[in-house]
């Protein structure tokens, strides 16, 4: 006999919107904090960086457009659609972005997005930040499955996934259109119980 009771949501609707977006500490004096309107120039600068533009769909043409995007980040938190942090030091502006896009509270899943400005690259901060927001998503928010997807031509993201404890699950063929054409993507995942 098939049960007529519906499957409950993994995370109840409204739970995330009731939370204040936390500031999360990282080693080396870094922190993950909500984006501020004063961080607008960092979004414009990132949009002009070739490495960021190659792997991310980021196009911000002006500080005003950046401030609108930052306001949308706040709105999307309240709508329980995404959770985006600035990667920063307490005494400086944003040096990167990390967070959860494609949040699905009903199914308990989300996909990570991230980038770093050149001055912050090479010190392991992306892997540390990935691990930190993964623990927040699983333990504090209550999600069940987290995805990290990247072009197979981007080995740096494979290293981030590995250092943050994500398992490589496979290759998705021709999964994402970049400026230079379709790319195969690696799919990495972290689930409840992995950490």
| Ordered structural domains, the chain, with CATH | 15-191 (3.40.630.30)
Q: How far is CA 33 from CA 20, 23, 105, 129, 194, in A?
A: 11, 5, 22, 11, 25
Q: What is the pTM of this model?
A: 0.94
Tokens (6 digits) for 63: 């500080």
Please give the share of the chain, as a percent, with pLDDT higher than 70. 97
Confidence class for position 2, pLDDT limits 50, 70, 90: low
Tokens (6 digits) for 57: 């769909």
Rounded Cα distance between 78 and 51, Å, is 30
pLDDT in tens, 160-195: 999 999 999 999 999 999 889 999 999 999 999 998
Confidence class for position 92, pLDDT limits 50, 70, 90: confident
pLDDT in tens, 121-150: 999 999 999 999 999 999 999 999 999 999
């Amino acid at each position: 006999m098939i049960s007529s009771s519906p499957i409950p949501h993994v995370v109840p609707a409204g739970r995330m919107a009731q939370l204040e977006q936390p500031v999360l500490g990282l080693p080396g004096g870094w922190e993950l904090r909500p984006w501020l309107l004063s961080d607008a120039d960092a979004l414009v600068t990132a949009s002009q960086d070739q490495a960021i533009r190659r792997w991310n769909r980021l196009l911000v043409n002006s500080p005003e457009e950046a401030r609108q995007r930052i306001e949308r980040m706040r709105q999307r938190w309240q709508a329980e659609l995404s959770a985006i942090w600035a990667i920063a030091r307490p005494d400086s502006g944003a040096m990167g972005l990390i967070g959860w896009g494609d949040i699905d509270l009903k199914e308990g899943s989300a996909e990570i997005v991230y980038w770093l400005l050149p001055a912050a690259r090479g010190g392991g901060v992306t892997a540390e930040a990935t691990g930190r927001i993964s623990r927040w998503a699983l333990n504090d928010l209550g999600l069940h499955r987290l995805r990290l997807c990247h072009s197979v031509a981007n080995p740096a993201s494979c290293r981030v996934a590995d250092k943050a404890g994500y398992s490589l699950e496979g290759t998705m063929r021709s999964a994402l259109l970049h400026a230079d054409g379709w790319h195969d993507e690696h799919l990495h995942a972290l689930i409840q119980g992995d950490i």
